[in-house]
Each structure stands twice: as structure tokens, then as C-alpha cells.
């Protein structure tokens, strides 16, 4: 799905009831705000700075062990907070 737009990627994640992880912070914050304004739901947008794969995996595992799907739903969350 690398060639699809940000909106298409989020729509696909929603259809699959999945959160999405992105380094594209600016565009996905805008999408989150549009969803909130329009009363649309998403399963979470996890925002991150670019890091080594080891750091990303560490943070993703901490997120998965700390936050329920329900807590992540309709929320933008910074992966960096799970350091």
C-alpha cells in the first residue's frame, strides 16, 4: 500500500479494525482531526519519529502491553511516550 494516499491507508486500516503506525505526523494529525470533526471512527493512529528498528519494536511492545484497543480507538498517540 506504499503507493496509496494517507487517507486511503487510514480507510483501509479502519476497514480492517486496525490501528496505523506512521512517521507522517502532520498529515495523520490532520486526518485524525477530520475524522473527529465528521464523527468518523478510527482504531488509533500511532505517531512516531524515525528510529532504529530496535527502538521501534521496544516501544511497540510497550504500547501493546500498556494500552487496550478500546483506549487506542479514535486517539492519536505518540509511540515515543512508550520509551
DSSP 8-state class, residue 62? H
Q: Of the candidates 59, 60, 61, 63, which has an alpha carbon nearest to the alpha carbon of residue 83?
A: 59
Q: What is the pLDDT of residue 1?
A: 78
| Distance of alpha carbon 43 from alpha carbon 38, whole angstroms | 15
Q: Does 33 have pLDDT greater than 90? A: yes
Q: Specify the residue for cell string 486517539.
A: 75
Phi and psi, residue 77, nearest 5°: -130, 140
Give me the DSSP letters along 22-38: ES-HHHHHHHHHHHHHT
Q: Is the pTM of this model over 0.75?
A: yes
Per-residue pLDDT, 45: 98
Amino acid at each position: 500500500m506504499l503507493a496509496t494516499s494517507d487517507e486511503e491507508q487510514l480507510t483501509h486500516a479502519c476497514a480492517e479494525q486496525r490501528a496505523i503506525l506512521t512517521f507522517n505526523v502532520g498529515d495523520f494529525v490532520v486526518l485524525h482531526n477530520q475524522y473527529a470533526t465528521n464523527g468518523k471512527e478510527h482504531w488509533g493512529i500511532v505517531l512516531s519519529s524515525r528510529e532504529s528498528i530496535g527502538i521501534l519494536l521496544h516501544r511497540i511492545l510497550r504500547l501493546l502491553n500498556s494500552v487496550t484497543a478500546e483506549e487506542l480507538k479514535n486517539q492519536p498517540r505518540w509511540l515515543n511516550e512508550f520509551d
